């Protein structure tokens, strides 16, 4: 809110009243001097009481004049003081409003910084979780026949953090693993194992399930679709898989 310059400018009537007083006093003094000069012979013969009355009569009007002018001047000064106080009050109000706006902006900035810190903290937590997470990759390799049994070779490779307690099973038992116990697979470690297949099930599909844990104990499970490629065993396809929530 702005204040009118005319309203904020002090009233100069006090100077006007002073000049009026000086002018009237000068005129009055000139008139008194002219009267005294014209009646000087009588004035010097006055008694002390007459001198008192004379001086009271001469200076009484001047005193009354300056009392009136002083009263008017005081009124102007009070008006100027009131306007100055109103102007200060308006400026204080504007200052308070500005402080409120600054306070709101500061709180908004604090909230924005806090939200940014929360997002950064959440991002770092997610990154930490990702760093802790094992990344298991399974591949199949063409197998063969051993001791009259057909088998398929599998490779497990860990591209992430260490995984523990690895368990592998087949859903329909078309394939079986004679003995396999994997307690830990470190980062960039590769493990190879063979799985045998029943001769009567060489053309059947199956599901290979692998479960494991990260070093924090979080469990993971993944299911691979086993599909004989072109109807031939032991050449199979592990391209399709699904992560299962534990």
Nearest to 128 by CA among 95, 160, 153: 160
C-alpha 27/C-alpha 23 separation (Å) is: 6
Say what the pTM is: 0.47
Domain boundary assignment for the chain: 5-129, 133-244
Residue 7: what pLDDT?
Answer: 47
Q: What are phi and psi of 65, to 5 degrees?
A: -60, -50
CATH of region 133-244, choose from 1.10.10, 3.30.70, 2.60.40, 2.40.50: 2.60.40
Residue 185 banded pLDDT, cuts 50, 70, 90: very high
Average pLDDT over all residues of the chain:
80
CA 233, distance to chain mean position in Å, is 63
pLDDT tens digit string along 111-137? 999 999 999 999 998 888 778 889 888
C-alpha 218/C-alpha 157 separation (Å) is: 19
Instruction: Residue 156: count other Cβ atoms within 10 Å of its Cβ.
Output: 20
Q: What is the DSSP letter of 178?
A: S
**pLDDT above 50 for 85:** yes
> For residue 14, is it left (φ>0), alpha (ψ between -120 and 50) or beta?
alpha
Q: How would you classify the pairing of strands 206-214 and 219-229? A: antiparallel
Q: What are phi and psi of 214, to 5 degrees?
A: -90, 180
């Amino acid at each position: 809110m702005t204040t009118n310059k005319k309203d904020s400018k002090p009233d100069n009537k006090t100077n006007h009243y002073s000049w009026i007083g000086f002018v009237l006093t000068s005129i009055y003094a000139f008139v008194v001097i002219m009267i005294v000069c014209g009646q000087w012979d009588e004035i010097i013969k006055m008694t002390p009481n007459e001198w008192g009355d004379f001086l009271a009569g001469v200076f009484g009007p001047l005193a009354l004049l300056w009392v009136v002018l002083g009263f008017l001047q005081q009124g102007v000064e009070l008006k100027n003081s009131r306007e100055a106080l109103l102007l200060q009050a308006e400026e204080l109000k504007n200052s308070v409003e500005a402080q409120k706006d600054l306070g709101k902006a500061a709180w908004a900035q604090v909230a924005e910084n806090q939200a940014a810190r929360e997002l950064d903290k959440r991002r770092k937590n997610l990154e930490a979780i990702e760093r802790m997470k094992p990344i298991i990759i399974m591949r199949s390799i063409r197998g063969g026949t051993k001791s009259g049994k057909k088998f398929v070779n599998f490779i497990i490779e860990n591209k992430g953090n260490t995984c523990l307690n690895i368990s592998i099973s087949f859903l329909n038992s078309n394939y079986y693993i004679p003995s396999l116990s994997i307690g830990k697979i470190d980062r960039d470690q590769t493990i190879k194992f063979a799985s045998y297949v029943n001769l009567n099930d060489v053309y059947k599909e199956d599901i290979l399930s692998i479960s494991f844990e990260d070093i924090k104990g979080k469990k993971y499970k993944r299911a691979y679709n086993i599909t004989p490629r072109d109807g031939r065993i032991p050449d199979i396809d592990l391209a399709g898989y699904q992560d299962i929530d534990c």
